Amino acid sequence: MSFRRLTIAASCVVTLTACASSGAAPVTTQAPAPVVAAPTRPRPYPVTEPVPFRRAVDAGTRTRTGEPGPKYWQQWSKYNLAAEYEPTTGKLTGTGTVTYFNRSPRPLGVVQVHLYHNLFSNEAVRVEAVPLTGGVTVTQVTVNGTEVPKAGGGQRGYRINGTIMSIPMPAPIAPGDSTTLGFAWSLTVPPEGAPRGGRTDELAYISYWYPQVAVYDDVNGWQVDQYTGNAEFYMGYGDYDVAFTVPAGYLVGATGRLMNGGEVLSKQTQERLARAGTTDSVVRVVTEADRGAGKATAAGGKLTWRFQAKNVRDVAWGVSDKYAWDATRAVVGDRDGNGSVDTAAIYTFYVPGVPNSKWAEDARYARHSIEFLSNYLWPYPYPHMTAMQGPRSCGGMEYPMMTCLGGTQPDSFSLYGVTVHEIAHMWYPMQVGSDEKRHAWQDEGLTEFNGTQGENDFFPNRDAEAQDLQIYKQVAMSGMEEPLMRHGDRYDTGTGYGIASYMKPTTILITLRGMLGEEQFLKAYRAYGRRWLYKHPTPTDFFNTWENVTGQDLDWFWRSWFWETWTLDQAVKTVTPDASGTTIVIEDLGFTPMPSTVKVTRADSSSSTHQVPVNHWLAGNTTYSFTVGAGSPVARVQIDHDGYLPDVSTKNNGWVGQ
Ligand SMILES: [Zn+2]
């Protein structure tokens, strides 16, 4: 999801004067709380391994190197789903089966299933207001073809608690065995105002629309945290076969490969789409003039669109008879290792004809995003990437191969920014499937950082990293910061959640890059992603990978930046010349210990750099002094002359002689 541009009112983050929209108390930057030197400083104690993680190490499913263990396992599902959507009423009716494979070493007597749409039921526990639609009506549940009743009156059966459905198994699913669950259900796609999807008069973006088996993992077992609107998701991997029935004339974009384009698309649309796969220019596949049954799509009453997706964690779809459809292709590198370059289709679906809309540019933006990130991280693995316009309240949201981008986005920077951010999510969490609910930074933070890399490449005159750094510092100084290591539904304010999940982790990665150097940074950063492709890494796996790849004990770094809201503020305290040289004292006014480099420039323009080791601060000191020899007078002293440290007060980082 996008935060910087959409969730918080700009005034809230940038000036910190009005945070009403995020539920936060208004604060002002006029008088930030001073960071006062303490007589002693807190010392970051080591990161302790969570007990469930230690048990997983003992069981051989995790390691202390950050790699998955030799006995790593995870569950698997095969979904076969069909849904019909009625645009005039917003009603969706669905049926389908999920074959659930128990690859764990334990028999499972119950299967837990998400009914995310119950967020919109009257009874749901929510952390934010949403339109109420009644949630999901479950009309049938079966296990291996036998109907399971709803529990009640002493009868054993399935139970629904908020957004979680628990289905008892007639006999536990043995390790290595599978079971097939069947469902029939209906729901109303919520109107504008719903998070992450919904419908308007012109379009519907349909997300979280089917019963989805919850994750049962090797560290924590079943993860059945309720969906309450803010904290996002934790999803398992599987193959999907889906069929969407809509009136002819409505275009459907979805996760997965369209399997029956010959049946549902008009000849003209098929031909243009085929051409888009062979050219680097943008092909207008369906324009405003081409819309409708028999023109954009095949003729008829209703059409059923079939999609297949392999090894994904979800399927979303968008539908509209107003969409224009642009297509091109992106070069993603050699993803299958056969020595030749591969491509992915790039699609955009949007409502055309809106004054000042930049959507007609978005195929180019999406292509750049995919090509840039394929190079920066690793090749994009899916057959297409679709940037799709959704209701305004969608903000920016990611689904496998799909984005939901709210509104018309009249400005190139904001449209590119939200496009690259949501597309960056195709790596985290789509391919690297962490628990977004409990550790939002693990996908949002890495995604925000990756998005800023794309923005800086596409707009070389803008500095997206500096923008995030600035927002982090403002919030850090306001006292509204909350720690990263917190469940996404347990933040006091939207600002606290946003900074901890987006800008601060971006800042941390910039700091790590400065500290380790670009080469070591990229080596460890990519290793983490590649080690956990299509798996479920925990924060411990993230920390362990960095230490394993760089060979450094970084516990002090993780503890200070991820668990605490300490700030960094080093200052040049005194510069004192005497006969034998000049003594320079660096004072640490903040709590966060960081190594730094101090550059000393003399009047004759010669210069030298001096390392302030982190161990000096870790020993509890608050000042560090060093002497440079006599010679040309010292003219300038500068801490962090490369400028990568998130020092909350840079005014005291330099000293200039008279
Ligand atoms: Zn995001």
Q: What is the pLDDT of residues 420-477, one digit of tens each?
A: 999 999 999 999 999 999 999 999 999 999 999 999 999 999 999 999 999 999 999 9
Ligand 1 centre from 449 Cα, in Å? 10
Report pLDDT for 352.
94
For 624, residues 6+ apart whose C-beta sits below 8 A from its C-beta are 585, 586, 587, 588, 612, 616, 617
Mean pLDDT confidence for 54-74 = 98
> Closest by alpha carbon to 206, among 257, 245, 260, 262?
245
Residue 324 CA to ligand 1 center (angstroms) comes to: 25
Which pLDDT does position 1 carry in this prediction? 83
Which of 266-270, 406-410, 499-503 is predicted with the least confidence, judged by mean pLDDT? 406-410
Q: At residue 395, what are phi and psi to the nearest 5 degrees?
A: 65, -115
* Amino acid at position 496, single letter: G
Q: What is the pLDDT of residue 29?
A: 42
What would the pLDDT profile of 587-599 be if each residue is shown by its tens digit? 999 999 999 999 9
Structural domains in the chain, sorted by start: 5-70+442-563 (1.10.390), 76-431 (2.60.40.1730), 570-656 (2.60.40)
pLDDT reported for residue 407: 72
Name the residues around ion ligand 1, CB cutoff 5 A: 1, 444, 447
**DSSP strands (E only) in 314-447:** 317-320, 324-333, 342-350, 384-390, 396-399, 402-406
Per-residue pLDDT tens digits for 343-389: 999 999 999 988 888 999 999 999 999 999 999 999 999 999 999 99
CA of 549 to the centre of ligand 1 (A): 27
- Residues facing residue 382 across a β-bridge: none
Mean pLDDT confidence for 168-194 = 97
Instruction: Report how far ligand 1's centroid is from the alpha carbon of 489 (Å).
Output: 16
User: Separation of 348 CA from ligand 1 center, angstroms?
Assistant: 19
Q: How far is the CA of 18 from the centre of ligand 1 (A)?
A: 23
Q: How far is the CA of 206 from the centre of ligand 1 (A)?
A: 18
Average pLDDT over residues 14-27: 35
Residue 17 has pLDDT above 50, yes or no: no
pLDDT score for 342: 96
pLDDT of residue 24: 39
Q: How far is the CA of 224 from the centre of ligand 1 (A)?
A: 22
- What is the predicted pLDDT for the residue at 40? 73
**Between 160 and 39, where is the model more confident?**
160
Distance 398 CA to ligand 1 centre (A): 7
Q: Is the pLDDT of residue 620 over 70?
A: yes
Task: Report residue 10's pLDDT band, with 50, 70 and 90 as the boundaries.
Answer: very low
pLDDT at 14: 31
* The pLDDT value given to residue 410: 73
**pLDDT digits 0-9 by tens, 89-138:** 999 999 999 999 999 999 999 999 999 999 999 988 898 899 999 999 99
Q: How confident is the model at residue 261 (pLDDT cuts 50, 70, 90)?
A: very high
For residues 385 and 345, is the Cβ–Cβ distance under 8 A? yes
Share of the chain above pLDDT 70, in %: 94
**Cα 421 to averaged position of ligand 1 atoms, centre (Å):** 6
Helices 504-516, 464-478: inter-axial angle, 10-degree rounding: 120
How many Å lie between the centroid of ligand 1 and the Cα of residue 502?
8
Residue 22 Cα to ligand 1 middle (Å): 17
98 CA to centre of ligand 1 in angstroms:
28
Residue 255: per-residue pLDDT: 98
- Assign 204 a pLDDT band (cuts: 50, 70, 90): very high
Helix (H) or strand (E) holding 238: strand 238-247
| Average confidence score pLDDT of the chain | 93
How far, in whole angstroms, is CA 600 from its chain's centroid?
41
> Residue 433 Cα, ligand 1 centroid: separation in angstroms?
14
Question: Do the Cβ atoms of 587 and 623 come closer than 8 Å?
Answer: yes
Q: How far is CA 564 from CA 105, 236, 484, in A?
A: 37, 31, 8
Residue indicated by tokens 């509890």:
620
pTM of the model: 0.93
Q: How confident is the model at residue 32 (pLDDT cuts 50, 70, 90)?
A: low
Distance 308 CA to ligand 1 centre (A): 25
- Confidence category of residue 11, pLDDT binned at 50, 70, 90: very low
> What pLDDT does 16 receive?
32
Q: How confident is residue 3, by pLDDT bands cut at 50, 70 and 90?
A: low
What's the CA-to-centroid distance between 415 and ligand 1, angstroms? 14
Alpha helices in 215-361 (DSSP H): 261-264, 267-276
**Ligand 1 centroid vs 294 CA: distance in angstroms?**
38
Distance 601 CA to ligand 1 centre (A): 43
Report the separation in Å between the CA atom of 229 and the middle of ligand 1, taken as the mean of its atom positions. 15
Q: Which pLDDT does position 4 carry in this prediction? A: 52
State mean pLDDT over 23-27.
38
Ligand 1 centroid to residue 10 C-alpha, Å: 17
Say if residue 43's pLDDT is above 70.
yes
Please give the structure tokens belonging to residue 227.
Answer: 């969906």
Ligand 1 centre from 364 Cα, in Å?
A: 20
Ligand 1 center to 179 CA (angstroms): 34
Q: How far, in Å, is the centroid of ligand 1 from the Cα of 1?
A: 3
